[in-house]
Amino acid sequence: MKKNIQIILGLLIGVFLMWFLFRDTDWNEVWAALRKAHIGWLALGLFFILLGFVVRIWRWGYIVNPVTPVSFWHLFSATQIGFLGNFVLPARIGEVIRALALSRSQNIPFPKTVAYVALDRLTDLFGLVAVFIVTLIVFNPTQDVYLPEEFHGLYAKPISREMIRGTVYTLTFLMLAGVLMLMVLFAQKKMFLALSDKILGYVSTRLATFVHGIFEHFAEGMQVLTSYGNLAKATGVSLLLWGTFALSQAAIYRAFDVEVPWYTPFVVLSVLSIFISIPGPPGFIGPFHAGIVGGLILVAPQINVNAARAIAIFAHLYNLIPIIIIGVICLSFERLGLRELSREGEEITSSDPPSESP
């Protein structure tokens, strides 16, 4: 029931955002912008997107290989299968599928692969925090921002500069707090295990044992936190990865002859990360487009909205198509089925802990 509500909510949000963004679109202008896009800059943008796929695995290798040596290809295929799951399946189950794919292909305990995925997301946050910090430093609007006239039917009030900067400050703080909590959890794992055993032991000895085993596997997968060298390398590569994201965005702006400040990719990535974190339909349809258009409007309020819409459509397809093609190839190579992985992932995420035997 909870999953169905999440799916329905995501679909409603996606439909609303697409309607809100495209309800007064001049599709002739959008099509003209797409036809006039420069092939050379588009090719460069695609290069940075594909490079990002490789850099992501480079980063994950620093997390996985110190504990469980895994080949680059198997890490790559598990990641791309997870991406495919996020883009074609509801409920954002891709990260669970990613952990399952690695567990199934390499016979690694699932809780450990979940830890590997969680740590990868943790180091990803380091890169995202850096993007937010750059945005805070370089993006300092001198006046309130108004949405273009096309959106005045729903929202015509100003977006204050204080609101913009306050939101970025708050989100940056929350991300740093989340990172710190995970690191404290690992550093004090014995204390947390003892506390968990004691509390859950009052409820069920079997439940306490189950949770203890899960956490032990999870903690083993987080061993990279004890190696400051590997953690520093993973963090450095994460910064490089977000650099490829920014460069791909910059190339697309050049392809569409949109004149924006040099820091625009950082602002757009900040806004985009906010929108795609909310519930949405498969493929981030709606939130992705809103993030791109919203970021461009914040930086350049006078931008041609139809050009911004064309960029959002193209940027989404630019990410979607390679992920689908490469993900299907990886599924074939690993001899895995996405439906099977999805069903297993749903069972895991919706299952209850084992109950006490009578």
pLDDT tens digits for range 51-97: 999 999 999 998 888 888 999 999 999 999 999 998 888 767 888 89
pLDDT at residue 280 in the model: 79
pLDDT at residue 220 in the model: 60
Q: Do the beta carbons of residue 312 and residue 253 sit within 8 Å?
A: no
Q: Do the beta carbons of residue 77 and residue 49 sit within 8 Å?
A: no
Q: What is the band of 224 on the pLDDT scale with cuts at 50, 70, 90?
A: low
For residues 145 and 241, which has the higher predicted lDDT (pLDDT)? 241
pLDDT at residue 356 in the model: 42
Helices (H), the chain: 2-22, 27-36, 39-64, 72-88, 94-106, 110-138, 161-187, 189-203, 205-221, 228-255, 264-275, 287-299, 305-334, 338-350
Mean pLDDT of 202-227: 65
Give the contacts of 333 (CB within 8 A, at least 6 positions apart).
73, 77
Mean pLDDT of 218-228: 61
Res 308 pLDDT > 60: yes
Res 178 pLDDT > 70: yes
**Distance separating alpha carbons of residues 292 and 343, to the nearest angstrom:** 32
Cα 194 from chain centre: 33
Considering only CA atoms, give the Rg of the chain: 22
pLDDT averaged over every residue in the chain? 84
pLDDT tens digits for range 268-297: 999 999 899 887 788 899 999 999 999 999
Q: How many CB atoms lie within 10 A of CB 277?
A: 12
Question: Which of 63, 100, 46 minimizes the C-alpha distance to 331?
Answer: 100
Percent helix, strand and coil across the chain, each rounded to 5?
80, 0, 20
Res 357 pLDDT > 70: no
Single pTM value for the model: 0.84
Q: Do the beta carbons of residue 147 and residue 155 sit within 8 Å?
A: yes
Strand pairing partners for 145?
A: 159
pLDDT at residue 355 in the model: 43
Check residue 356 and report its DSSP letter: P
pLDDT at residue 210 in the model: 67
pLDDT at residue 198 in the model: 75
Q: Measure the CA dihedral 197/203/209/211, to 10°.
A: -80
pLDDT at residue 353 in the model: 45
Which two structure tokens, joined as six digits, stand for 227?
């190696």
Which two structure tokens, joined as six digits, stand for 65?
């290989």
Q: Do the beta carbons of residue 116 and residue 64 sit within 8 Å?
A: yes
Give the contacts of 38 (CB within 8 A, at least 6 positions apart).
254, 255, 257
pLDDT tens digits for range 105-151: 889 888 888 888 888 888 888 899 899 889 888 888 877 777 776 66
**Among 152-156, 212-216, 336-340, whose mean pLDDT is lowest?**
152-156
pLDDT at residue 226 in the model: 58
Mean pLDDT of 151-177: 76
Check residue 353 and report its DSSP letter: P
Decide: residue 59, CB within 10 A, 0-12 exposed, 13-18 middle, 19+ buried.
buried
% of the chain with per-residue pLDDT over 70? 85
pLDDT at residue 251 in the model: 96
Question: Which of 255, 181, 100 minimizes the C-alpha distance to 247?
Answer: 255
Mean pLDDT of 167-195: 76
